[in-house]
């Protein structure tokens, strides 16, 4: 029996790694819509954490020939995970982890950005030295992030009206997090989840609207207006590829800066602190030009991680559940992909109505984290069963390390 289910559609087939994992009706409809687009290559691959998204489901892999759907890439372009193993073990951690959590929160701005001034916990009022160096270092096509953004803004000025350098090295809110975890050998790991912040949102939103305008101009009728696409060869397509690549670089550097600051906190508190051999930094909301089934195609992983043969990836659970460092098996039918997490089983609004502070406190027992009403929408019960998700993709990845958080920082 195949590990995936084949769903025939009016377009290309859907191959879904969802055995034992519920798929909501609205998500199934979105998958059918995407499969019916005329430029999809071979099939659509669906990961076990699949759930409703804007235009396309989160937890899907969409290979396109000659086109990209900006809304499928999304607005948190380059969002992803980073994890670093350390030489610490649990017995070296203090009994009271609250001061360590506070030190991490002090080192990394987190939460929503309101004013951008000194009282704004979600952004820098003035970029510190490490952020300023990262902004001017050559990381994107031989250019710095600062110069790369200028090149984009020259053609699309509205993209510049965003938080950019003052968001570099900051966490954000929602499902973004920083965690200290213990693995199966009792070693401490630092793990975090974030993306391209305000500037990525601006780029994504701007080009999604540009794609919709293009559909209206050409009189193209779509099953969902958020499936508006840009065709390869057009100026808008080239500009989008440049901008999305820049945002993905921003997101990677953003994670690196935060990780460096957290490791500095640990180094200052523990003697002989060292980073271990294993470190992973991977996107799970992005687009890349890759070869699959003999052709070069634009692969959008919307809530999916690349899992080529021997490639390391990260699959997080939730605030109270286990996470996994995995090794890709290079499954061709999944377009070398795996899930990016547990996946939501209910909306944020539904979670706030269903769960109480007491429910959340019980679900996160033993974890030093926020236990207030502001994070009820992120409580473990709002997510799918991570064990079922992992079982459904056993032919996509193998588990290398199993992590359980002891500290969780949320914006």
Q: Hey, which residues are catalytic here?
A: 340
Q: Which two tokens stand for residue 113?
A: 């950005």
d(CA 98, CA 268): 16
Which DSSP state fits 40? B
Strand, coil or helix: 247: helix
Contact 375, 360 (CB under 8 A): yes
In the chain, DSSP finds a helix count (H) and a strand count (E) of: 10, 19
Cβ pair 93, 106 in contact under 8 A: no
DSSP conformation class of 371 = -
CA distance 326 to 237: 34
Q: Which two tokens stand for residue 65?
A: 């020939």
DSSP character at residue 171? -
Helices (H), 183-234: 197-218
Return d(Cα 74, Cα 227) in angstroms, integer: 11
Pairing of strands 187-194, 138-140: unpaired
Helical H runs in 195-335? 197-218, 235-269
């Amino acid at each position: 029996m195949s590990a995936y289910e084949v769903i025939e559609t009016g377009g290309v087939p859907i191959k879904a790694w969802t055995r034992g994992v519920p798929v909501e009706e609205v998500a199934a409809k979105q998958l059918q819509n995407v499969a019916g687009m005329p430029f999809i290559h071979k099939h659509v691959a669906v990961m076990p954490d699949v759930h409703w998204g804007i235009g396309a489901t989160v937890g899907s892999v969409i290979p396109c020939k000659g086109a990209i759907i900006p809304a499928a890439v999304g607005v948190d372009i380059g969002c992803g995970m980073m994890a670093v193993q350390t030489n610490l073990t649990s017995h070296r951690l203090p009994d009271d982890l609250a001061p360590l959590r506070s030190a991490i929160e002090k080192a990394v701005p987190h939460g929503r950005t309101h004013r951008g001034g000194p009282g704004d916990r979600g952004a820098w009022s003035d970029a510190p030295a490490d952020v300023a160096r990262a902004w001017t270092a050559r990381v994107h096509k031989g250019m710095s992030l600062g110069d790369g953004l200028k090149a984009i803004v020259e053609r699309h000025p509205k993209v510049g009206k965003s938080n950019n350098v003052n968001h570099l090295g900051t966490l954000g809110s929602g499902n973004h997090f920083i965690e200290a975890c213990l693995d199966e050998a009792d070693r401490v790991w630092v793990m975090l989840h974030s993306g391209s912040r305000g500037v990525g949102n601006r780029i994504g939103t701007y080009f999604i609207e540009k794609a919709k305008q293009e559909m209206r101009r050409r009189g193209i009728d779509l099953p969902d207006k958020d499936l508006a696409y840009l065709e390869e060869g057009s100026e808008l397509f080239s500009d989008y590829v440049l901008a999305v690549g820049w945002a993905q670089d921003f997101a990677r550097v953003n994670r690196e800066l935060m990780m460096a600051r957290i490791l500095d906190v640990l180094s200052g508190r523990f003697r002989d602190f060292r980073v271990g051999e294993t470190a992973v930094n991977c996107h799970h909301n992005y687009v890349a030009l890759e070869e699959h089934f003999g052709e070069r195609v634009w692969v959008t992983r919307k809530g999916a991680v690349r899992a080529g043969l021997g490639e390391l990836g990260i699959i997080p659970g939730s605030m109270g559940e286990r996470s996994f460092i995995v090794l890709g098996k290079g499954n061709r039918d999944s377009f070398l992909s795996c899930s990016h997490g547990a996946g939501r089983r209910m909306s944020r609004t539904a979670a706030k109505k269903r769960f109480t502070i007491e429910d959340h406190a019980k679900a996160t027992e033993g974890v030093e984290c926020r236990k207030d009403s502001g994070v009820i929408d992120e409580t473990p019960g709002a997510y799918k069963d991570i064990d079922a998700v992992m079982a459904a993709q056993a032919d996509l990845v193998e588990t290398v390390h199993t992590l359980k958080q002891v500290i969780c920082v949320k914006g």
